[in-house]
Amino acid sequence: MDREAALAIVHEHVQSPNLRKHMLAVEAATRWYAARLDQDVELWGLAGLLHDFDWERHPTLEDHPAKGAPILRQHGCPEPVVQAILAHNTEGTGVERSAPLDFALLACDEVTGLITATALVRPSKDLREVPLKSVRKRWKEKAFAAGVDREHVERATRDFSEQVYGGRLALWDHVGNVLEAMKGIAAELELDGRLAQPSD
């Protein structure tokens, strides 16, 4: 499976523009880490891009992504990608994280929401202008992007750090890395300032 085939799956199963952009953001983050960990960038990118492809059809933690995994396998999705996607909801699937990709995907997933929300409250609506300190400030505001479970992000980052970085990856270094990765696709996320432009 290549990225084009994965995008076709996303377009078939995901109608929400925001969910699509979330998946693109996580893809950017997993690809960023793969490049720096000497891993397969395309493989890691597939996991980020496809991890929530079935959420609209199976919008419960009991069904997602367990019921989506067979669809991915039918399309020839590599098994390490399916494993990582199943392991990003261990509570629902019973699949534990084991490979570096599994830990990376979970660590990159939810924090993208906080970064996106931080960009959207800026007058410029331009992610490329968001400094890490702004994300850190918003993190402390529990009512801001309240759907982002800060404790979950901390746990997932800690596990990723311990399993892949020998405990050397700090939370705010990780958030900064994801922010940097997302800045690289600001246009695809529509966070390049266009939303600040007055409509005709």
Domain of 82, CATH number, reads 1.10.3210
Given the structure tokens 């000497």, which residue do they identify?
A: 38
Read off the pLDDT of each residue in 17-28 and give the average, rounded to a whole number. 98
Please tell me what DSSP assigns to residue 3: H
Residue in the structure block whose two tokens are 């994280």: 97
Q: Note whether residue 105 is domain-resident.
A: yes
Is residue 143 one of the residues assigned to a domain? Answer: yes
Check residues 199 and 35 and name the one with the higher pLDDT. 35
pLDDT in tens, 81-96: 999 999 999 988 999 9
Assigned domain for 17 exists: yes
pLDDT given at position 145: 96
Q: Is the dihedral of CA 62, 175, 182, 101 positive or negative?
A: negative
What pLDDT digit, counting tens, does each position of 110-122 carry? 999 999 999 999 9
Residue 198 has pLDDT above 90, yes or no: no
| pLDDT, position 197 | 72
Nearest to 111 by CA among 85, 90, 132: 132
pTM, entire model = 0.95
142-177 pLDDT tens trace: 999 999 999 999 999 999 999 999 999 999 999 999
Distant-in-sequence, close-in-space partners of 151: CB < 8 Å, separation ≥ 6: none
Q: What is the mean pLDDT of the chain?
A: 96
Residue 200 lies inside a defined structural domain of this protein = no
Q: What are the tokens at 183?
A: 């800045």
Residue 115: inside a domain: yes
Q: Say if 198 falls within a structural domain.
A: no
pLDDT of 104 higher than 80:
yes
Q: How many domains does the chain have?
A: 1
Residue 199 in any domain: the answer is no
**Tokens standing for residue 27:** 């893809």
CA-based radius of gyration for the chain: 16
Enclosing domain of residue 164 = 3-192
Residue 186's SS3 state is: coil
Note the pLDDT of residue 24.
98
Considering only CA atoms, which of 99, 88, 98 is closest in space to residue 51?
88
Residue bearing tokens 């997933």: 109
- The tens digit of pLDDT for each residue in 36-71 reads 999 999 999 999 999 999 999 999 989 999 999 999
8 Å CB contact between 23 and 48: yes
Residue 104 lies in a domain: yes
Judged against a pLDDT cut of 60, whether residue 200 lies above it is answered with no
Q: Measure the CA angle with vertex 19, ends 16 and 23; round to 5°.
A: 140
Is residue 199 over pLDDT 90? no
